[in-house]
Chain A
Amino acid sequence: GENVEQHPSTLSVQEGDSAVIKCTYSDSASNYFPWYKQELGKGPQLIIDIRSNVGEKKDQRIAVTLNKTAKHFSLHITETQPEDSAVYFCAAKVQGAQKLVFGQGTRLTINP
């Protein structure tokens, strides 16, 4: 079945700098890749997603890139702010399947 690896497990950056989180997936039939942000005591919230027919998607300070050949996708956050501090999860969904397969999460800390 699909397996998603996420790196790094923790990331600390200075406010205003950029943060990059990377994920790899194993099943070439995966075609949907969402990113979720989870704050303490809350459920995951979708922040951006990408489908396999595009290579990049951007929403203000957040962007996601997808390399289908290499089977990896990345989250880029620019001009980081303290409120970006949270745990971020990547996920992948195999075409025809119902479930999301999640990475292990990255704890992002923005230092003021």
Chain B
Amino acid sequence: GAGVSQSPSNKVTEKGKDVELRCDPISGHTALYWYRQRLGQGLEFLIYFQGNSAPDKSGLPSDRFSAERTGESVSTLTIQRTQQEDSAVYLCASSLRNSGDTQYFGPGTRLTVL
């Protein structure tokens, strides 16, 4: 079946602009996660959704970062007033019910802030 999809695959933006990154989880998966991967590094947790609510936002690095999920499906990660240090690959994952289940990752969105 279809896996996790993300769009766009690449995004180049100018410093100070806002960007929106989209994640479509595996159908039927109620848990959704966003991670950030800086060049040559491991993944950093950003936020976790269970259904449409976000009980864990502890990884969001600043108030410029926000995320929402609608219809227990699509999620959007928004970065306002982008900075060069926001350049990274943003990865989305979903799991069937909760964090105890396997997390399946999408291909990521590579964000470059000039």
B43–A89 touching, CB < 8 Å: yes
Interchain Cβ contacts within 8 Å, total number? 62
Bitwise interface map of A from 10 to 46 toward B, beta carbon under 8 Å scored 1, else 0: 0000000000000000000000101010000111111
Number of interface residues of B (CB under 8 A): 28
The reply to whether A93 and B42 form a contact with Cβ atoms under 8 Å apart is no
Stretch of A63-71, A75-83, A96-104 on the interface side: A96-104
Partner of A45, one of B41, B48, B55, B105: B105
A105 with B42: CB separation less than 8 A:
yes
Does B26 interact with chain A (Cβ within 8 Å)?
no
Q: Which residue of A lies closest to B54 (CB)?
A: A98
8 A Cβ contacts from B84-114 to A = 91, 93, 98-100, 102-108
Q: Given A105-B41, A105-B42, are A99 and B102 neighbors across the interface (CB < 8 Å)?
A: no
Interchain CB contact under 8 A, B48 and A49: no
* A42:B107 contact, CB within 8 angstroms: yes
Kindly state whether residue B21 has any CB partner on chain A within 8 Å.
no
With A34-B102, A43-B91, A45-B105 as known contacts, state yes or no: A89 contacts B42, CB within 8 Å: yes
Which A residues are closer than 8 A to B by beta carbons? 4, 6, 32, 34, 36, 41-46, 49, 89, 91, 93, 97-105
Interface residues of B (CB under 8 A from A): 4, 31, 33, 35, 40-45, 48, 50, 55-56, 58-59, 91, 93, 98-100, 102-108
